[in-house]
Amino acid sequence: MTAAAMDINAAALRRDERREKLALFSLCAPASLLVLVIIVAPVGWLFWLSLFNDAGVMSLDNYTRMFESKSYTRIFITTFQVSFLTTALCVLLGYPLAYFLAQLPRRWAALGMLAVLLPFWTSLLVRTYAWLVVLQRKGLVNQWGMELGLWEAPLRLAHNLNGTLIGMAHIMLPFLVLPLYGAMKAIDFDYMKAAANLGANPVSAFRHVFLPLSLPGLFAGIIIVFVLCLGFFVTPAVLGGGKVIMVSMKIETLVDLFFNFGTASALGVVLLGLTLLVLFAAHKLLQLDRVLGGGHGGNP
């Protein structure tokens, strides 16, 4: 075939392709705009504010203070510690739960899912105070435990890290279970049959096949929970007894009591930076794009 013959319509076809890509891009324009307006702009504004000290002069005071004052470092450590432990607790509770639900017949699974989602129907504050009633010194758990002679002095379940973790795990659990359940439901049962057929007992079939296939859902859940925890406010404020101080609580005090947007913004910026850092590390460590892409990504 001659070169000329091969060029027939080539330019027009390339134009069509470009036009299609442009059309596709314009589809996501509203979303991009939204992101720009509700995320990029406020974060930029936050960053801008954080560069001014109390006297309104441009400086890095807000950041240097964070490194000089021990309490800021401790607050960050507490924030990450609480988030990490809550996430771990959610995984421990959520994985078997999601697995169980995924095995149930459809109708029962729907009922179980409803139970998991039930917490979403009541206000966060109500649930948190309900935990207080259950966990405090003369709360239900301690009353029953002591009546049954399980322990003698009341356990310290509320107004500390324990209470915070219990309350937060309860609130975060659905965020872990939902994506995980979805991922598990999507696992073709033939994979498990194939594994058994190839000689895998139920335990190794789970370990070598089901677990790895459920990981994308698990990681999605872990990331959602962890990131949500980092910015959590109500539950640690109510159940932490004033001992569990997270970044969000500190920001609230700074803004509400001292009208100190500079330091508050700096805290927000550092938290955002650390969160991105954690996500990046997780991404590097676990090759999340591959995992989250459900194995349909490009070459490894």
Partner 1 sequence: MQRIDALPIHIRAVTKTYGAVYALDGVDLEVRSGEFLTLLGPSGSGKTTLLMVLAGFTRPDAGSLKFGDAEVIRMPPHRREVGMVFQNYALFPHLDVAANIGFPLKLRGIDKNDIHARVESALATVQLQGFGDRRIHQLSGGQKQRVALARAIIFEPRILLMDEPLSALDKKLREHMQIELRRLHEQLGMTTVYVTHDQREALTMSDRIAVINHGRLIQLDDPRAIYDHPADPFVANFIGESVLLPVEIIDGKPCYRGRPLQVAAGHARDDKTTPGALLMLRPERLVFMDDARADAAAYNRFDGVVGHAVYQGENFVTYITLDDGHEVAVRSVSRKQSLAAAPPPGSTVTLGLHRDETALIPGHTAAAGNNNNDAETNRGHKP
Partner 2 sequence: MRNNATVIHSTVAAAAFALTFAAGASAQSVTVASWGGSYQAAQSKALFMPVAAAMGITINEETYKGIGQVRTRVAANAVPWDIISTGSGGGARACVEEILIPLDYNLIDVSNFVADTHLPCCVGSDVFATVMAWNTDTYGDNGPQSWADFWDVQKFPGTRSIRGKMHGMLEPALMADGVAPRDVYRVLDSEAGIKRALDKIRELKPHVAVWWSSGAQHAQLMKDGEVDMTTGWNGRFDVAKADGAKVAYTYNQGLQDYDCFGIPKGAPNAGLAMQVIAEMSKAEFQVNLPKYITYGPTNAEVYQTGQVDESVARQLPSHPSNARKLLPVSQEWYAKWEKIGSEMYQDMITE
The closest alpha carbon to 210, from 102, 80, 61, belongs to 102
Spatial distance between the Cα atoms of 195 and 206, rounded to a whole number of angstroms: 9
- Applying CB under 8 A, among 32, 64, 69, 122 the residue interacting with partner 2 is 69
Spatial distance between the Cα atoms of 107 and 114, rounded to a whole number of angstroms: 11
Site string for partner 2, 150-169 (x = CB under 8 A): ------x-xx----------
Does 196 help bind partner 1 (rule: CB under 8 A)?
Answer: yes
Does 190 help bind partner 1 (rule: CB under 8 A)?
Answer: yes
- Applying CB under 8 A, among 19, 74, 193, 243 the residue interacting with partner 1 is 193
Does 230 help bind partner 2 (rule: CB under 8 A)?
Answer: no
Spatial distance between the Cα atoms of 170 and 128, rounded to a whole number of angstroms: 9
Give the amino acid at 297: G
**Structure tokens that stand for 18 in this block:** 């470009």
Does 208 help bind partner 1 (rule: CB under 8 A)?
Answer: yes
The residue among 116 and 237 lying less far from partner 2, judged by its C-beta, is: 237
Helix boundaries (H) for the chain: 3-6, 10-27, 29-35, 41-50, 61-68, 70-103, 106-117, 124-135, 140-147, 161-185, 189-197, 202-205, 211-230, 234-239, 247-258, 261-286, 288-292
Q: Residues, the chain, total?
A: 300
Does 98 help bind partner 1 (rule: CB under 8 A)?
Answer: no
In the three-class reduction of DSSP (H, G, I as helix; E, B as strand; rest coil), residue 159 is classed as: coil
Does 141 help bind partner 2 (rule: CB under 8 A)?
Answer: no
Identify whether the C-beta of residue 261 lies closer than 8 Å to the C-beta of residue 32: no
Cross-strand bridge partners of residue 52 = 58
Return the one option of partner 2, partner 1, none that residue 255 interacts with (CB less than 5 to 8 A, by type).
partner 2
Spatial distance between the Cα atoms of 13 and 6, rounded to a whole number of angstroms: 12
- Applying CB under 8 A, among 242, 294, 295, 297 the residue interacting with partner 2 is 242
Does 143 help bind partner 2 (rule: CB under 8 A)?
Answer: no
The residue among 87 and 214 lying less far from partner 1, judged by its C-beta, is: 214
- Applying CB under 8 A, among 1, 5, 123, 138 the residue interacting with partner 2 is 138
Does 204 help bind partner 1 (rule: CB under 8 A)?
Answer: yes
Does 243 help bind partner 2 (rule: CB under 8 A)?
Answer: yes
Does 205 help bind partner 1 (rule: CB under 8 A)?
Answer: yes
Which 213-242 positions form the footprint of partner 1 (CB under 8 A)? 213
Give the amino acid at 105: P
**Structure tokens that stand for 69 in this block:** 């004052």
- Name residue, tokens 């010194």: 137
Does 237 help bind partner 2 (rule: CB under 8 A)?
Answer: yes
Site string for partner 1, 238-277 (x = CB under 8 A): ----------------------------------------
The residue among 209 and 245 lying less far from partner 1, judged by its C-beta, is: 209
User: Which spans of this chain sit near partner 2 (rule: CB under 8 A)?
Assistant: 69-71, 74-75, 78, 136-139, 156, 158-159, 237, 241-243, 245, 250, 253, 255-259
